[in-house]
């Protein structure tokens, strides 16, 4: 038996387990054995399990089969197009050949990756697995036919000029006979060689598309999605058995390599296969950034290097709604009062003191003197009047517009002189200083005309010149490289000084790197390229802990944060006669449906598997970390049986295949969005998908770039559900007014709805307004406890977990004092300084 035949037999036998994946693996690829999560290889799980307890062997075999099937379909599509276009051009010739040549050249010149991104963006988000498979196959197939068509065209043109073809035509052979007997058979060697070349490249193409989120998605497994999970440093360090899909991919590509089919095994390895494997390993290592930390023996850099998970949306503090923009605006602007993360109290900042109330219920703010904007203009009472007027203007759309209304009325602001301002509220307020915390002071001399002309939302955008952005914060914007980084330099006119009289800030600058992937952030931190990571991914905690000594890092677990992660269901009324929105509103507006969904979710497993136990299951929007205002309500106990009983009592039923149907017979199915920059929320969505599958609900998971997700939720409202998080700032109930008042800008579950959904929504709105003016702390706590009880019962959002606040900081950063009320941990960045030498 020849060696070449032996190799072919080995290759064919190697494909048997892939083709027969359903018989080889004992477990379904999407079944979650949560009690066996992250288990090493064993008799029950020969390739171990992943983070959610899914059998890696089953996922690798089924994933490889899916990737190979996609490559078969894509290769067939490519060769079919190539034979038709190239054959027609070569056989007909003349004007048709000229036009088809232009088509071929155009296909070769198209930047297909951008076209694929555009096509995917135009398609529905939650594609079922079968449709996603066809999408990937077709997208890959239509991108690679140009080169093959040129070869077919050349062969056909040459064949039609051969003497035997000319002789057959002279003897009266028909065109069909010439094609079938002479021309097309001559193309088979070219077609076969192109198939051998294209097939392995299309396997890699499917891997690339799925890796980038354009192909298969959870819970379906392909080699691309499985390899995408290896971007986590935590996975590579603690679960090496999950490298199995990489090994399978390498072996598959090698097996289709032409020299491997023709040469002895040892010569094939010597002819570049080893280099290919090394290149793949190097690419994987560079993707996850796993390199040895490089601590420096020199004095630490004077600037502070931080990471952002997304690009900011604006530099305008009035229109900033996303957390990234808000955190950067805190560098550029200052407030009258700010929240001390250590004491949780509002402390004076630009204000020197707050006096009152007087007999008429008015307050007086005395401003610090001698403060100027960077352009030399003095800061005074007129700027305070202007700023509070802007933030209370409903036409501007500020996120603070509701929080600043007391008793349903905007505050009245009057300048008494250059350094004193009088505030008059529509009703009493328990903590007026806290109310003003988080409201940046704006330069009236720069923005008043723009505000009067109702153009304020168009200024200080991402394209604004850095010098045009004027604020009272400790830093100024120096440069902005879109999608890369932002650099800030000290504000030379910043008013604060330290105890020795030295002007703050002490840092020479701040560089904010835009790094969407949390694992890449950790890799950059360990490599010495970042100094602080706040709101740290809990799965990376162990990775950093093992390398902290060598990388000169300190880890801090501050316990339960104020952040609450939740499932957001779109409770909007249907817009027009759209069947999909009508069905969605029928399900989501049914409180029994929401309660059944909540009861089916295994929050304890979410906290254990997604957050390594560094999170707390919650049943309402106030986490246990908010010790002052938490009402003590427990998280629901998971019970699929009780959830099914609740659905049955509400008129839902199941078909013969166990799929949930509503009272009108419509199948219950929807799509859940999760941010691509937050792997934890993607895992939560996958677990939610499995939990609701037990109720017969078909949930599709779609990962979106963070800004695109926010646009769908806050602007277009084109979504079914999403995994989101809020909180993390001030623990006072007034910080949540924008969420729970019906006209609030972050009333996400029914944003902008004209009428309340039910009496409970009206009651929550009324209670939030009442507590805002209640001076008696126990009564205020009782009112907010009632709000929490209403949220837990009626579930306008479905609370899931509250993660611990984890922070990593490079040693030698003095003054660093994070707290649970400051998610970015840099609330006192103006006081931070590097020690002379790293300990």
pLDDT tens for 320-365 read: 878 889 889 999 999 999 988 888 889 999 999 999 898 888 999 9
Structural contact between residues 789 and 767, judged by C-beta atoms closer than 8 angstroms = no
State which H helix or E strand residue 422 sits in: strand 420-424
Q: What is the pLDDT of residue 112?
A: 67
Rounded to the nearest angstrom, the gap between the alpha carbon of residue 772 and the centroid of all alpha carbons in its chain is 33
Choose among 513, 572, 557: nearest CA to 713.
Answer: 572
Structural contact between residues 194 and 153, judged by C-beta atoms closer than 8 angstroms = no
Structural contact between residues 556 and 807, judged by C-beta atoms closer than 8 angstroms = yes
Strands 669-675 and 698-704, by their bridges, are parallel
Which two tokens mark 74? 């894509």
- From CA 203, how far away is CA 33, in angstroms rounded? 29
CA 404, 405, 410, 413 torsion-angle sign: negative
Coil, strand, or helix at residue 391?
helix
> Per residue in 205-242, is it b (16+ CB within 10 Å) or e — as a string?
bbbebbbebbbbbbbbbbbbbbbbbbbbbbbbebbebb
Choose among 671, 725, 726, 727: nearest CA to 703.
Answer: 671
Q: What is the pLDDT of residue 797?
A: 96
CA 809, 814, 818, 824 torsion-angle sign: negative
Choose among 717, 711, 719: nearest CA to 673.
Answer: 719
Q: Which neighbouring-strand residues pair with 661?
A: 653, 667
Rounded to the nearest angstrom, the gap between the alpha carbon of residue 503 and the centroid of all alpha carbons in its chain is 39
Coil, strand, or helix at residue 232?
coil
Q: What is the pLDDT of residue 237?
A: 78
Rounded to the nearest angstrom, the gap between the alpha carbon of residue 786 and the centroid of all alpha carbons in its chain is 33
- From CA 323, how far away is CA 822, in angstroms rounded? 11
Angle among Cα 751, 754, 760 to the nearest 5 degrees reads: 75
> Per residue in 733-769, is it b (16+ CB within 10 Å) or e — as a string?
bbbbbbbbbbebbbbbbbbeeeeebeebbeebbebbb
Q: What is the pLDDT of residue 214?
A: 66
Residue 653 exposure: Cα atoms within 13 Å on the Cβ side: 7
Q: What is the pLDDT of residue 294?
A: 42
Structural contact between residues 388 and 404, judged by C-beta atoms closer than 8 angstroms = yes
Strands 698-704 and 532-533, by their bridges, are unpaired
Q: What is the pLDDT of residue 772?
A: 86
Angle among Cα 390, 394, 396 to the nearest 5 degrees reads: 55
Q: Is 696 left (phi over 0), alpha (psi -120 to 50) or beta?
A: left
**Residue spans of the chain under pLDDT 70:** 1-4, 7-8, 112-130, 132-133, 136, 212-218, 257-301, 577, 728-729, 821-824, 837-839
What contacts 117, CB < 8 A, 6 or more positions away?
A: 214
% helix, strand, coil for the chain, step of 5: 45, 15, 40
Q: What is the pLDDT of residue 838?
A: 44
Q: What is the pLDDT of residue 297?
A: 38
Coil, strand, or helix at residue 434?
helix
Structural contact between residues 737 and 579, judged by C-beta atoms closer than 8 angstroms = no
Residue 166 exposure: Cα atoms within 13 Å on the Cβ side: 5
Q: Tell me the CA distances in angstroms from 650 to 593, 637, 640, 644, 664, one per residue in order.
A: 8, 20, 15, 10, 12
Which two tokens mark 728? 């993390």
Q: What is the pLDDT of residue 167?
A: 85
Strands 420-424 and 362-367, by their bridges, are antiparallel
Task: Indicate the average pLDDT of the chain.
Answer: 85
- In degrees rounded to 5, what are phi and psi of residue 575? -95, 100
- From CA 159, how far away is CA 104, in angstroms rounded? 20
Strand ranges for 605-707 from DSSP E: 615-617, 653-654, 660-661, 669-675, 698-704
- From CA 591, how far away is CA 579, in angstroms rounded? 20
* Distance between first and last Cα of the chain: 69
Strands 475-481 and 485-490, by their bridges, are antiparallel
Q: Is the peptide bond before 476 cis (omega within 30 degrees of 0)?
A: no
- From CA 508, how far away is CA 485, in angstroms rounded? 17
Alpha helices, DSSP H only, in 471-578? 518-526, 541-551
Q: What is the pLDDT of residue 445?
A: 96
């Amino acid at each position: 038996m020849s060696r070449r035949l032996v190799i072919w037999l080995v290759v064919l036998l190697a494909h048997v387990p892939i083709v027969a994946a359903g018989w080889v693996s004992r477990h379904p690829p999407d079944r979650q054995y949560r009690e066996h999560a992250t288990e090493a290889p064993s008799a029950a799980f020969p390739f171990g399990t992943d983070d959610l307890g899914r059998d890696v062997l089953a996922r690798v075999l089924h994933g490889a089969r899916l990737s190979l099937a996609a490559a078969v379909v894509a290769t067939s599509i490519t060769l079919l197009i190539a034979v038709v276009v190239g054959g027609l051009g070569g056989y007909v010739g003349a004007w048709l050949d000229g036009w088809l040549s232009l088509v071929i050249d155009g296909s070769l010149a198209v930047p297909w990756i951008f076209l694929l991104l555009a096509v995917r963006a135009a398609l529905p988000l939650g594609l079922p697995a079968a449709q996603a498979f066809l999408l990937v196959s077709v997208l890959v197939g239509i991108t690679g036919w140009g080169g093959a068509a040129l070869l077919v065209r050349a062969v056909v043109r040459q064949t039609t000029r051969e003497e035997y073809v000319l002789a057959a035509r002279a003897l009266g052979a028909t065109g069909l006979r010439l094609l079938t007997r002479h021309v097309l058979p001559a193309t088979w060697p070219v077609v076969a060689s192109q198939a051998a070349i294209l097939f392995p490249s299309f396997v890699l193409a499917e891997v690339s598309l799925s890796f980038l989120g354009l192909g298969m998605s959870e819970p379906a497994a392909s080699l691309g999605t499985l390899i995408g999970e290896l971007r986590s440093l935590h996975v590579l360090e603690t679960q090496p058995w999950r490298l199995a899909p990489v090994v399978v991919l390498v072996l598959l590509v090698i097996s289709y390599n032409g020299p491997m089919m023709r040469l002895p095994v040892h010569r094939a390895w010597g002819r570049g296969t080893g280099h290919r494997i090394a290149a793949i390993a190097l690419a994987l290592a560079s993707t996850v950034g796993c390199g040895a930390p490089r601590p420096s023996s020199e004095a630490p850099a004077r600037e502070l290097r931080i990471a952002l998970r997304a690009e900011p949306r604006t530099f305008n503090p009035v229109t900033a709604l996303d957390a990234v923009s808000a955190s950067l605006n805190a560098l550029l602007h200052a407030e009258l009062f700010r929240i001390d993360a250590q004491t949780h109290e509002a402390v004076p900042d630009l204000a020197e003191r707050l006096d009152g109330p007087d007999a008429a219920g008015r307050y007086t703010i005395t401003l610090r003197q001698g403060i100027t904007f960077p352009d030399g203009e003095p800061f005074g009472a007129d700027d305070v009047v202007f700023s509070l007027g802007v933030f209370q203007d409903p036409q501007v759309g500020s996120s603070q517009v509701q929080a600043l209304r007391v008793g349903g009325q905007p505050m009245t602001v009057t300048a008494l002189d250059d350094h004193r301002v009088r505030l008059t509220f529509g009703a009493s307020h328990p903590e007026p200083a806290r109310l003003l915390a988080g409201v940046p002071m704006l330069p009236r001399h720069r923005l008043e005309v723009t505000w009067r002309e109702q153009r304020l939302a168009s200024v200080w955008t991402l394209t604004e010149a850095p010098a045009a952005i004027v604020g009272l914060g400790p830093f100024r914007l120096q440069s902005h490289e879109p999608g890369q980084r932002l650099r800030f330099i000290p504000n030379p006119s910043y008013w604060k000084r330290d105890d020795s009289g030295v002007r703050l800030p002490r840092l020479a600058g701040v560089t904010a790197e835009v790094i969407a992937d949390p694992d890449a952030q950790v890799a950059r931190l360990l490599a010495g390229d970042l100094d602080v990571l706040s709101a740290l991914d809990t799965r990376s905690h162990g990775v950093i802990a093992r390398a902290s000594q060598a990388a000169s890092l300190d880890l801090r677990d501050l316990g339960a944060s104020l952040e609450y992660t939740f499932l957001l269901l779109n409770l909007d009324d249907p817009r027009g006669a759209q069947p999909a929105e009508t069905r969605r509103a029928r399900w989501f507006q049914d409180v029994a449906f929401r309660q059944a969904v909540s009861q089916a979710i295994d929050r304890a497993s979410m906290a254990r598997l997604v957050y390594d136990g560094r999170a707390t299951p919650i049943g309402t929007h106030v986490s246990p970390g908010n010790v002052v205002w938490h009402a003590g309500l427990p998280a629901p106990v998971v019970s699929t049986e009780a959830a099914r009983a609740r659905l049955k009592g509400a008129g839902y039923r199941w078909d013969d295949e166990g799929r949930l149907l509503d009272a009108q017979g419509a199948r219950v199915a929807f799509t859940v969005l999760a941010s691509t920059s937050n792997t934890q929320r993607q895992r939560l969505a996958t677990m939610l998908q499995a939990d609701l599958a037990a109720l017969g609900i078909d949930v599709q998971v779609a990962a979106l770039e963070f800004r695109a997700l926010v646009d769908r939720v806050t602007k277009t409202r084109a979504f079914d559900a999403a995994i989101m998080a809020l909180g993390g700032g001030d623990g006072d109930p007034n910080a949540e007014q924008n969420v729970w008042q019906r006209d609030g800008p972050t009333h996400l579950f029914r944003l902008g709805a004209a009428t309340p959904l039910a009496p409970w929504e009206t009651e929550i709105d009324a209670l939030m307004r009442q507590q805002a003016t209640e001076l008696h702390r126990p009564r205020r706590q009782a009112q907010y406890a009632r709000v929490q009880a209403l949220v837990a019962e009626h579930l306008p959002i479905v609370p899931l977990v509250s993660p611990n606040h984890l922070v990593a900081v490079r040693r030698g950063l003095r003054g660093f004092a994070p707290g649970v009320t400051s998610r970015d941990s840099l609330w006192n960045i103006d006081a931070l300084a590097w020690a002379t030498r790293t300990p």
